[in-house]
Amino acid sequence: MRKVLFLLTALAGLALLSGSALAQNAPPAPPSCSNATLQGTYTFLTEGSIVGPHGALTPFQQTGLEVFDGNGHSQGFLTTATVVNGQTVISSQVSFTAAYTVSANCTVKESGADAENNAFHFDGFLGPNGNHMTLCLTDPGFIQCGSENRDSGK
């Protein structure tokens, strides 16, 4: 009888251990995002290049502030710094508006235009808590990527 009881206890322990090991090796739950995940005030910095004739690259940087409403719309302003013919050119606090869509897998698509009528399209990835986003411009003639960080809560 003791052998049977010992064997049952040992088997129960093994079952618990293997169940615990399986739980530790299980893939993490997939993130779940929506437009509401992207809400609040974000600051951003992007760097890139304008692709000119024969592949010549003109570097530029942008920094700014963007407010996402959690319903698929954003607005903000940005400052761009670039070098043209050896001279630094600054375009300060240009306003913009955009529309965005956040998929359940936390991918982001954003498109809009600035006050100077320059259209833009970005693809990105949003952290599941909504505090950080990385993105790249998808418009032809540009190479530009960067990130945005939430500065205020919802």
Q: What is the pLDDT of residues 28-84, one digit of tens each?
A: 766 799 999 999 999 999 999 999 999 999 999 999 999 999 999 999 999 999 988
What confidence category does residue 5 fall into, taking pLDDT thresholds of 50, 70 and 90?
A: very low
User: Is 26 domain-assigned?
Assistant: no
pTM above 0.95, yes or no: no
Nearest to 137 by CA among 12, 51, 26: 51
In a domain, 8, yes or no: no
Distance CA 52, CA 70 (A): 36
pLDDT band at 16 (very low <50, low <70, confident <90, very high): very low
- Report the domain count for the chain: 1
Q: Are 112 and 125 in contact (CB under 8 A)?
A: no
Q: Which domain holds residue 118?
A: 35-150
- Tell me what pLDDT residue 152 has: 65
Question: What average pLDDT does the segment 117-137 reach?
Answer: 96
CATH of the domain at 99: 2.40.160
